């Protein structure tokens, strides 16, 4: 089940992603591991490839609609056999500033989305952890030579580590 993305103790095995297609392929690979209720938390700097990974995830899940950066919306729901909620929490800060009140992930109906589907949250580190008891942290790094690497860390009993 672990698909060799992490070792027996849950330590990620780094995956090198020379091209954007490799990043999308990792998303498709993750899609094959997911069931309703699963959450991906995507971390990594601007342009690391978080949205590219979600694009592959959406392709692997067979959901409808193009996966793009949700620039003007915080989240986008994609219909499919296993529906996908794609959240970009980076904009939560702007939304909070504009609305004058803190915006929480409750506003995004994350829990509702997870009852029959999956969710992928960009910039979700530190926001979603209190809402669920298991998730996959996908950490994308970009080295000085532009080589990108992913590390997938399983959290919670769901993943058996």
- Judged by CB under 6 A, which stretch of 6-14, 49-57, 95-103, 113-121 contacts ligand ATP? 49-57
Determine whether 67 is exposed, middle or buried from the number of CB atoms within 10 Å of its CB (0-12, 13-18, 19+): buried
Task: Give the residue, chosen from 1, 46, 143, 157, that forms a contact with ligand ATP under the rule CB under 6 A.
Answer: 46
* Span 114-143, contacts to ligand ATP by CB under 6 A: 122
Residue window 111-140: x/- pattern of binding to Mg ion, with contact defined by CB under 5 A: -----------x------------------
Q: Is 110 helix (H, G, I), strand (E, B) or coil?
A: helix
Which stretches of the chain are DSSP H helices?
Answer: 20-31, 50-61, 90-99, 110-116
25 binds ligand ATP (CB under 6 A): no
Task: Give the residue, chosen from 14, 19, 126, 134, that forms a contact with ligand ATP under the rule CB under 6 A.
Answer: 19
Dihedral sign, CA of 150, 79, 130, 94?
A: positive
Tokens of 61: 């899940």
Q: Which chain residues interact with Mg ion by CB under 5 A?
A: 50-51, 69, 122
């Amino acid at each position: 089940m672990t698909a060799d993305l992490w070792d027996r103790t849950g330590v990620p095995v780094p995956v090198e992603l020379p091209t954007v297609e490799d990043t999308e392929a990792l998303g498709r690979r993750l899609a094959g591991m997911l069931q309703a209720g699963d959450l991906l938390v995507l971390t990594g700097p601007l342009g690391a490839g978080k949205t590219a990974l979600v694009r592959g995830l959406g392709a692997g899940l067979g959901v409808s609609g193009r996966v793009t950066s949700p620039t003007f919306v915080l989240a986008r729901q994609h219909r499919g056999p296993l529906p996908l909620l794609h959240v970009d929490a980076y904009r939560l800060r702007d939304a909070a500033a504009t609305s004058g009140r803190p915006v929480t992930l409750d506003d995004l109906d994350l829990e509702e989305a997870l009852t029959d589907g999956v969710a992928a949250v960009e910039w979700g580190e530190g926001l979603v952890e209190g809402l669920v008891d298991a998730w996959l942290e996908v950490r994308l790094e970009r080295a000085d030579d532009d080589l990108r690497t992913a590390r997938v860390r399983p959290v919670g009993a769901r993943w058996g580590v």
